[in-house]
Amino acid sequence: MTTQSVSCPAIFLSAPSSGEGKTTITAAIARNFLNQGKVVRVFKTGPDYLDPQILAQASGEDVEQLDMWMAGEEYCQQKLFEAAQVADLIIVEGAMGMFDGDPSSADLAARFNIPIAIVMSVKGMAQTAAAIAGGLANFRDDVKVAGLIANHCGTERHAELIRDALPESLPLLATLPRSEEVALPERHLGLVQAAEVADELEQRFTAGAEWVDGQLITQLPEPVTFYSAEVPEVAPLLQGKTIAVAKDEAFSFIYDANIRLLEQMGASCVFFSPLHDAELPEADAMWLPGGYPELHCKALAANTVMHNQIRGFFDAGKSILAECGGFLYSLNDLVDLEGDVHPMLGILQGTGAMRGKRGCQGMQTAVLPEGEVRAHAHHRSRSESTPEPVGYGRRQRHPAPGESIYQSRGLTASYLHLFFASNPEAVARVFGAKC
């Protein structure tokens, strides 16, 4: 295969830590360029469901997750190459702090030669912001830093103090005052799902585009050259199969890349709502993804017709994958944040219970009987009185067993969210393929 290349302006937004305003600013910049008539392709670092929903609405384009551990370098390389063929600008939003994690945002930016704009809340500091930005910019020789975006910058004098303290090699790309009009709504696992607040988001994106307008960050950066990668062809392992996918306010943690892979393997995906529907679509297998079932316990419990439909599907021995929120929905009961108990499907013995702010998150490999699949965990609940697991997740960097994995008849259930492209054959087996 001959390697191809294409150039496209690109910028990578990273920060010293979480909570500096990366997603708000990424959305504002994307909408500003969209208003300029540009095609903007946004990527999100790491296994994130909520930020991409927000950024997709802001940019008007699908948002892909990039993670070199979860998806592989070649996968990330090819996605960037494909985006560069159609985009006027590529924006990558980092995760956590710039050098946090393995691989980190800095690793991803360095691997694909994308310059980083450092996003920093400068509230309560002035020249110190320049010192921190300078330290980040010079921490590694293989990382290019384009400049600083000073978020929560109070006055022009505040901006001047920071600008004067920065070296010429580190320009001040934007000075953004605190604005309640552009801040994005949040809840316990992160941002609120875009579909729930679409109209409000539009107002915030309009304000955000004006918020960043006229700043250096709204000028196209220098082009970056992206290269094609050798990505294996996907075999039609699910040819002719129909997979029913739960998708509504309670179940929405779905990688578009996962749906796309199922379709590339020959499957037809049909969507249904455990909240609102009374009948399952005709299907050979089912996927109950993660989401927020704990926010919709009463409605899920009340839809007993759907319970009976899914139990019948399970009793028939058909394949079901239940991830995190889908796993909780599969249990006998779910205890909400107020301590009220709600009956769930009961296709797997056990009770799920919310536990406030404490939780579990991190990258793991799902060690399934069907094969190993890269995955991650992110939940603030616990399960108890469950059966003996068939296996456990293997943590990325810690020897302790990861999340429990359960199987019963055709059901595979766990807190883990799987990234299907990391092992298509294993995923096809989970959905009932004989390969």
Q: Which residues are tagged catalytic?
A: 324
**Cα 165 from Cα 167, distance rounded (Å):** 7
Radius of gyration of the chain (CA): 23
Are the C-beta atoms of residues 288 and 348 closer than 8 Å to each other? no
Are the C-beta atoms of residues 278 and 310 closer than 8 Å to each other? no
Are the C-beta atoms of residues 2 and 227 closer than 8 Å to each other? no
Instruction: Report residue 76 as tokens.
Output: 């990330």
Residue with tokens 């399952």: 280
**Cα 338 from Cα 334, distance rounded (Å):** 11
Give the 3-state secondary structure of residue 359: coil
**DSSP class per residue in 136-181:** HHTS-TT--EEEEEEET---HHHHHHHHHHS-TTS-EEEEE---TT
Q: CA angle, 371 as apex, 230 and 102 as ends, to 5°?
A: 60
**Cα 60 from Cα 317, distance rounded (Å):** 41
Taken as a whole, the chain contains a residue count of: 435
| 365, β-bridge pairs | 374, 394
Instruction: Report residue 381 as tokens.
Output: 């609940």
Instruction: Report residue 228 as tokens.
Output: 């094609």
The secondary element (H helix, E strand) that includes residue 118 is strand 116-121
